Structure formats: C-alpha cells, structure tokens
Amino acid sequence: MRGKIKSFLKISVLLLAMVTLASCASAPRDDAEALAEYNKINDPIEPTNRFIFSFNQGLDKGIIKPVTSLYRALFPEVVRTGVHNFLNNLKTPVVLANDVLQGESERAGDTIIRFVINSTAGIAGFRDQAADWGWEPHDEDFGQTLAVWGVGEGPYIMLPLFGPSNPRDAIGKVVDFFLDPINWWAENSDNDWVPLTRTIISGIDTRDQLWDVLDDLKKSSIDFYAAIRSLYRQRRNEDISNGAGSKNNETPNFSDNFELDDPNDQPADSGVKNISGKNSGTEK
C-alpha cells in the first residue's frame, strides 16, 4: 500500500504539471492595462481551473453537501465541535514541525502546551480546554513554511477535491502528509484505512465549518469562482503572516470564526456584491 500511495502522489504531481503547461493562457502583451490585470489575477490556466471548479461543485452538490447535511442533522453542534477539536489536536505534530521549521519557538511552545492540556484535561482533544485557559490555537503547514523561507506561491490552481491552491501549497500538502506520524504508523502497521478515514471525516468537518460561509458567498457573488479565488489568497496571506495581513491584499477577508466580513467593507475586484446587490468589482 505504501508504494501505491507514493506512486499516486508522483502521478498526481506529473498530471498537474502536464495540465498546467498545456493550459497556460497567453499574456496580453499589447495592452498594458490588461497585462497588469492578468498579472494581478495570476490565474494563467483559468479555463482549466474553472472546469475543475465546476467538477468540484458537482461533487459538492451531489455527494459532499448531502453527506454533510446528514452529519449536521444527526449530531448536535456540541458533538461536531468536539470532532473538530479532536481533528485539530491530531494535527499537532505537523503544526509543531512547521513552527520549528519557521523558527517560531514561542509558537512551538504554545503548540506543545496546547497538546498536553487538550490531550488530558481536554479529554483526548474533544474539548479545547487550552483555549479556555488562554492558549489560543494557530495553524501551520509546510506551504506556509515555504512562504516564510521566501518561496513564491506560483500561479493559482484549482485542485480536484482539494479546491483552491497554488504549486507551493500543493507541495506543502504532500510534505505535511509525510511529516504526520499517524501516517507513518498507519503505513508500518498495515492500518491504511486510518489516513483515508481521517481524510473523509476531515473533509466533512471542513464542509460543516464552511457551511454558512459558502452559502452566503454564493448568494452574494457575481462570479463565485473569482470570489473563491480572492478569498483563498486572502486567507493564505493571513495564515502566512500569522494574522498580520498584507498591505497588498485587495481581496475580501474571512474573520476568525469563518464568517464573511461586512459586505460593505469588500474591496473592488472581489466578485462579491455589496449590500445593495450591486457588484463591487468582478475579476474577468
């Protein structure tokens, strides 16, 4: 099974590279304004990305959203919050590794303290007791680590199932997979069902967390694809800067509780309507 996983990852990377090279759109060289907009959007394979986005939306409508709806109907919010906390606690080794790789000693210490508290007083992580005691959660991944090291994000890409990304973050996902000791244990003990089950549950949990956000965004967006693209970049900039944001961001933002900020505060080119229903700017 270990060889199959590695082969799958290699094939996925190869196919992604082939699709990217085959689908790159030509930059508008004769129009300075159009060229500036093209560079700002940084989406050279937009036709392919939109096709994959439509594919993902079909999966969401046909499978992911109905399954998540059933999950929300069967389990009260307190149970779903416990599952979310438990999954976050399982990510601690990966978060800690990236804290260290980024030279964030204080945040690494907080990560260790949170894990100890939540794994004990937090009942195996189902309760975020550490947050109640003043140690707030944070997330780190290898995509953020590469950004801290100065690696550029590259062009925007839409991945099947996984959604918005870029080459830097896509590589980060692969590295994080191999950094996770649970995956080591699963491979070496013939418990290959563990990573798969965890991935499925994590996907349902993520869809649950974003349930209202995506519904509201879809209703308020002139161009849902462009709005998702903008929000993804903003969120990643927030993560990379540890919440400090970026002066160069011109995209709408997620607040910490996964709710959209006030539509009246949305900047231009977000593809999101303002409260009056008029478009505040759409990426073409």
pLDDT in tens, 32-44: 565 566 667 899 9
Task: Assess whether 168 and 230 both reside in one domain.
Answer: no
Task: Assess whether 125 and 149 both reside in one domain.
Answer: yes
Stretch 125-153: mean pLDDT: 96
- Rounded-to-10 torsion of CA 45, 226, 56, 138: 110
In a domain, 184, yes or no: yes
Task: Assess whether 66 and 166 both reside in one domain.
Answer: yes
How many independent structural domains does the chain possess?
A: 2
d(CA 169, CA 179) in angstroms, rounded, equals: 15
Task: Assess whether 155 and 241 both reside in one domain.
Answer: no
Q: pTM of the entire structure?
A: 0.77
Domain range for residue 193? 2-20+43-209
Task: Assess whether 143 and 218 both reside in one domain.
Answer: no
Q: pLDDT tens-digit profile of 185-222?
A: 998 998 989 999 999 999 999 999 999 999 999 999 99
Task: Assess whether 202 and 222 both reside in one domain.
Answer: no
How does the average pLDDT of the chain come out, rounded?
A: 82
Task: Assess whether 95 and 221 both reside in one domain.
Answer: no
In a domain, 276, yes or no: no
CB-CB contact of 261 with 238 (8 Å)? no
CB-CB contact of 154 with 166 (8 Å)? yes
Task: Assess whether 149 and 256 both reside in one domain.
Answer: no
In a domain, 93, yes or no: yes
Task: Assess whether 56 and 197 both reside in one domain.
Answer: yes
In a domain, 32, yes or no: no
Task: Assess whether 7 and 110 both reside in one domain.
Answer: yes
